[in-house]
Structure 1
Amino acid sequence: MTAPAPAPALAPQRGAAPGADAPLPPPRLAYDAQTWKEIAHLLANLPLSLAGFVYVMTVTFTGAMLSLTVIGLPLLALGLMGARLMGRAERARARALLGVRIEEPSPLPLRRAGGLQGMWLVLKDPVGWRTILYDLIRLPWGILTFTVALTSLFVLWPVLPFLARGLTNADRAMVRALLSPSDELERRIAELESDRGVVVDTAAADLRRIERDLHDGAQARLVNLAMGLGLAKEKLLEGQADDQVAAMVDEAHGEVKLALQELRDLARGIHPAVLTDRGLDAALSSVASRCTVPVKVTADLPARPAAAIEGIAYFTVSELLQNISKHSGARQASVEVWRSDDRLLVQVWDDGHGGASLDAGSGMRGLAERLDAVDGLFVVDSPPGGPTTVTAELPWRDRTEQP
C-alpha cells in the first residue's frame, strides 16, 4: 500500500498586488508546522486587531476633533505615519505565519519636501489610509477567528486544520488587498509632486542668478559704454581735441570687450557651446582648465547621452570643481565619467581637507536634490582630513530617445 503523497508546501507569494490572481493554498486535513503557524495567527488576531482598532479610533477621532486647530492636521499626519508602521508589522506577521511575502511600499519622499509639503504628502498617502481601513475592519474578524480557533482546539479538533486554512486564506486576501504597496503610478505621482517643487525652486533660483548677473555685470557695463560714447559724441560736436576723444573711445572699446566676455560667461553658465558641439568630454576638460587646482579628466563614453542628462552631468561637475577651488584646499583633483549598463556615473575626487556634507542649505544639498528629481543618486564621502569623493549617478538615455 503506497503512502499518500505529502501535501504541497505553502509557497511564498512574492510581490502580490491587490487584485492579483495569486493562488491561495488549498484546504487540507493535516497537522504540520504550517498548520500550527496558521492557528497561532488566528489566535493572535484578537489582541492585535483590538490594539489596531483602538489606535485608529484614537487617531481619527482626535484628529477630527482638533482639525480646526493648528495641531489637528499634524496630529493626523503623525497618526498616518504610525499606521504605516503598523502595516509593516502586519506584513511581517503575514510573512512569518502565513507565508505571504509582499514587498514593502516605497517610502514617502519627505526628505525632498518642506514642512507643509511633507505633511500634505503624508495626509494624501494611500498606504496609510488603506492600513487604517484594514485596522477598522479587522476587529470583528479578529473576534470571529479567535473564537473559532480557540473553540476548535477543544471541540472541532479533527477539522481544525481545514478551518484554519480557510480562515487564514481570508486573512491572506485582506493583507494582499489592503497592505500591498501602492501601485507604481501612485508612487511616481508622490515623487513627482515633490520633485516638481524642487525643479520650480531651482528654475526660479537660476532665473534670479541670470537676472542678477545681467544687471550687475553686462548691463552696467553697457550703460557706462553708452554714457562714454555720448560724451565722446558731444566733444566731437564741440570740436575738442582728438586725443581726448580717442581716449574716451578707447575706454568704451574696453568696456565693450568686457561686456562681451561677461555675456559669454553668462551664456556658458546657461548652456556652454562646447557641450553642444563637442560633448561631455570636451566640456568637462574646458571647465577643468578653469579650476585653480590641477584636474585630470577621464571620460569613457561609447556615445553621447541625452542632452538633458549631459547638461546635468556638466553642471554637477562644474559646481563641484568650483567648490574645490574655493573651499577644499586641495592640491589635485580628478573627474571620471563612464557608463555602466543604463546609468551614467560621474565621480569627482580631490585631496583636500574634507568635511563636505549634505547638510541643509549647502550647495551639495542642492546638487543632490537636482539629481534626485531625475531619478539620480548623489553620494558624498568626505571624512575630516580628506580626501573627498563625490559620486553622481544619472539614468542613461541615448540622444536618439529624446522627443
Structure 2
Amino acid sequence: MDTLMTTACRTETRPPRLPEVLRAPLAARTWRELGHLLLGFPLSTFYFSCSIAVFAAGLGLVVTFIGVPVLAAGLLMCRGFGAVERARAHALLGLDVGAPGPVRSRSGGGLLGWMGALLKSGASWRHFLYSVVHFPWATFAFTVSVTLWAYGWAALTYPLWHWVFPVYAGVGGLQVYGDAHHAIYLDSPMELALVSLVGLALTLLAPWVIRGLAAVDRLLITGLLGPSRLADRVTELESDRGVVVDTAAADLRRIERDLHDGAQARLVNLAMDLGLAKEKLLSDPEAAARMVDEAHGEVKTALQELRDLARGIHPAVLTDRGLDAALSSLATRCAVPVTITVDLDERPAPAIEGIAYFTVSELLQNISKHARATKAAVDIWRVDDRLLLQVTDNGRGGVAISPGGGLAGLAERLDAVDGVLAVDSPAGGPTTVTAELPWRE
C-alpha cells in the first residue's frame, strides 16, 4: 500500500514537459530538417550544373541526331537525381513520396522508341524542372538557416566565449562599431546579458523558420518528383477495373453453380420422374398420378429457386419500384426485425441503385448469421452528389474489415465505383456500417 501511494505521489509531482517552443531547438526533428537544408545546397548545385550542361548540349546538338540521345540521357540523369531526393526526404523529413511509373514505349521500337517515350514523359521533365528550380531555393534556404542558426547559438553562448577577444585579440570583446577615433565592444555584463537574450530569441525562432523552409522542400518534392495525379488516377482505375472484372467473374461462377446444383438438377430429376410416370400411365394409373403430383411439387420448388436466383442477380421490384420497395421486400426475409427508412426525392443511376441494394442485402445477411442481434435498421439518404446508406444492429459487435473477409470484398466493390465503406463496431455492440456512393443520375 505504501508503495502504491509513493508511486502515485511521484506521478502527481512529476514536472510537466517543457513547452514545444522551448524544446524545438534541441528536438530531433529540427536537427534532421536542418541537415536536409544544409545538404540540399551542395546537392542542388550539382544537380543544377549537370542538368543545365546536358540540356544545353542536347539543344545545341538537336539539329543532328546526337542531340536526341543527349537530351534523353539528361532526363534519365534527372530521374536519378529525383530518386536520391526522395530517399533523402524519406530519411530526413519523414516524407514518403512514390516514384513515378517506369518509362514504357507504347509502340515498341527498341532503344529509339524508349528514348521517344522518355522525351514525352511528363514525369521526366518535372524531374528536370526540379533540378533547375531547386537550386535558387536551396541556396536561399541554406543561407537563411545557417545564418539564423549560427548567429542564434553564437549570441546565446557569447558570455561563455567572449574571453577569447581580450586573450587573443587584445580587445575587450566583440566589436560592433569602430572608426579612426573610437570603437564599441560588447564587453560589459549588461551587454553580455543583452546579447545572450537576443541569441535566445534567435535560437527559439530558428526551428520554426527551418520547419517553414523544409515545408517548401516537401511541396517541391511531392509536386515535382512524385507520380502525377493523373497517373495515380489511372493506376486507381486500373485496380478498380480488375476488381470489377474479378467480381463479375465470381458472380458468373456463382450463378452457374446455383443453376447446376439447384434448378438444373431438379429439372433433370423432374424429367426422369415424368418419363417413369408416362410409362406407368396405362399399367398403373394410380402410381403415375402420384408421380405426376410429386413432379408438380418439384416444378414449384424449381420455379422458386429460379425466382431466388433472378432476385440475386437483379430483383424485378428494384427495377420497377426502386430502393424503398426492394429493401422492404428484402427486410421481410431477414432473421431479425428490420426498420427501413429511405429519404430520396428521386432515384439514382441504376448501377448505383443496384450496388446499394446488394450492399444492404449482404449486410443484412451478416446480421442474420453472425450478429446475434434482436433488431436492425437501414437508413438511406442523399447528401449533395453522394448516396449514403447506414445499417445498424444491436448485436455483439466486434466487426472489422479484415483481409479476405466479406466486408473487405464489399469495400473493394464500393471502391471500384468511388465508394467508401466505414465500420464502427465496438466489442459488445452496437454495430454501424456506413457506405457512401456517388449519386450519378
What TM-score comes out, normalization by structure 2 length?
Answer: 0.56
1:299 to 327, 342, 346: 342
Gaps of 5+ in 2: 1-33, 49-81, 101-120, 148-212
Matching of residues 324-403 of structure 1 within 5 Å: 324-398=367-441
Q: Secondary structure at the match of 1:360?
A: coil
Relative to structure 1, the CA distance from residue 50 to residue 390 in structure 2 (aligned partners, 3 Å threshold; closer, same or farther) is farther
1:232 to 273, 277, 285: 277
Q: Which amino acid aligns with 1:286?
A: S
Contact 1:127–1:181 (CA under 8 A) maintained in structure 2 = no
CA distance in 1, matches of 2:244, 2:313: 16
2:318 to 260, 275, 290: 275
CA distance in 1, matches of 2:354, 2:337: 23
Q: Secondary structure at the match of 1:292?
A: coil
State whether structure 2 residue 40 is matched by structure 1 residue 45. yes
* 2:284 alignment counterpart: 241
* 2:224 alignment counterpart: 179
* 2:351 alignment counterpart: 308
Contact 2:352–2:437 (CA under 8 A) maintained in structure 1 = yes
Q: Which amino acid aligns with 2:322?
A: G
Q: Which is higher, the Rg of structure 1 or of structure 2?
A: 2
Q: 1:148-174, CA deviations, whole angstroms, 9 ceiling, x for partnerless residues?
A: 969xx9xxxxxxxxxxxxxx9xx99x9
Shift of 1:201: 1.1
1:287 to 322, 330, 334: 330
Q: 1:324-374, CA deviations, whole angstroms, 9 ceiling, x for partnerless residues?
A: 000000000000000011100000000000111110111100110000111
CA distance in 2, matches of 1:52, 1:242: 98
Relative to structure 1, the CA distance from residue 177 to residue 217 in structure 2 (aligned partners, 3 Å threshold; closer, same or farther) is closer
CA distance in 1, matches of 2:362, 2:308: 14
Matching of residues 211-226 of structure 1 within 5 Å: 211-226=256-271
Q: 1:299-325, CA deviations, whole angstroms, 9 ceiling, x for partnerless residues?
A: 000100000000000000000000000
CA distance in 2, matches of 1:176, 1:140: 9
Matching of residues 187-226 of structure 1 within 5 Å: 187-226=232-271
Contact 1:334–1:348 (CA under 8 A) maintained in structure 2 = yes
Shift of 1:200: 1.2
2:297 to 245, 248, 254: 254
Relative to structure 1, the CA distance from residue 183 to residue 351 in structure 2 (aligned partners, 3 Å threshold; closer, same or farther) is same
CA distance in 2, matches of 1:286, 1:222: 28
Contact 1:134–1:178 (CA under 8 A) maintained in structure 2 = no
CA distance in 2, matches of 1:307, 1:272: 12
Relative to structure 1, the CA distance from residue 105 to residue 45 in structure 2 (aligned partners, 3 Å threshold; closer, same or farther) is closer
Gaps of 5+ in 1: 1-38, 54-79, 94-103, 109-125, 154-167, 399-403
CA distance in 1, matches of 2:313, 2:370: 24
Relative to structure 1, the CA distance from residue 144 to residue 261 in structure 2 (aligned partners, 3 Å threshold; closer, same or farther) is closer
Contact 1:45–1:143 (CA under 8 A) maintained in structure 2 = no
Contact 1:106–1:187 (CA under 8 A) maintained in structure 2 = no
Contact 1:81–1:128 (CA under 8 A) maintained in structure 2 = no
CA distance in 1, matches of 2:137, 2:220: 17
CA distance in 2, matches of 1:212, 1:51: 65
Q: Give aligned-pair identity as a percent.
A: 62
Contact 1:351–1:387 (CA under 8 A) maintained in structure 2 = yes
What TM-score comes out, normalization by structure 1 length?
Answer: 0.61
Relative to structure 1, the CA distance from residue 177 to residue 247 in structure 2 (aligned partners, 3 Å threshold; closer, same or farther) is closer
CA distance in 1, matches of 2:91, 2:401: 32
Q: Which amino acid aligns with 2:377?
A: S
Relative to structure 1, the CA distance from residue 225 to residue 196 in structure 2 (aligned partners, 3 Å threshold; closer, same or farther) is same
Contact 1:295–1:333 (CA under 8 A) maintained in structure 2 = yes
* 2:205 alignment counterpart: none
Q: Secondary structure at the match of 1:374?
A: coil
Matching of residues 17-96 of structure 1 within 5 Å: 44-46=39-41
CA distance in 2, matches of 1:128, 1:84: 14
Higher relative contact order (CA 8 A, sep 6+): 1
Contact 1:376–1:393 (CA under 8 A) maintained in structure 2 = yes
CA distance in 2, matches of 1:246, 1:180: 81
Relative to structure 1, the CA distance from residue 107 to residue 175 in structure 2 (aligned partners, 3 Å threshold; closer, same or farther) is closer
Q: Secondary structure at the match of 2:382?
A: strand
Shift of 1:46: 2.8
Contact 2:126–2:225 (CA under 8 A) maintained in structure 1 = no
Shift of 1:187: 2.4
Contact 1:299–1:336 (CA under 8 A) maintained in structure 2 = yes
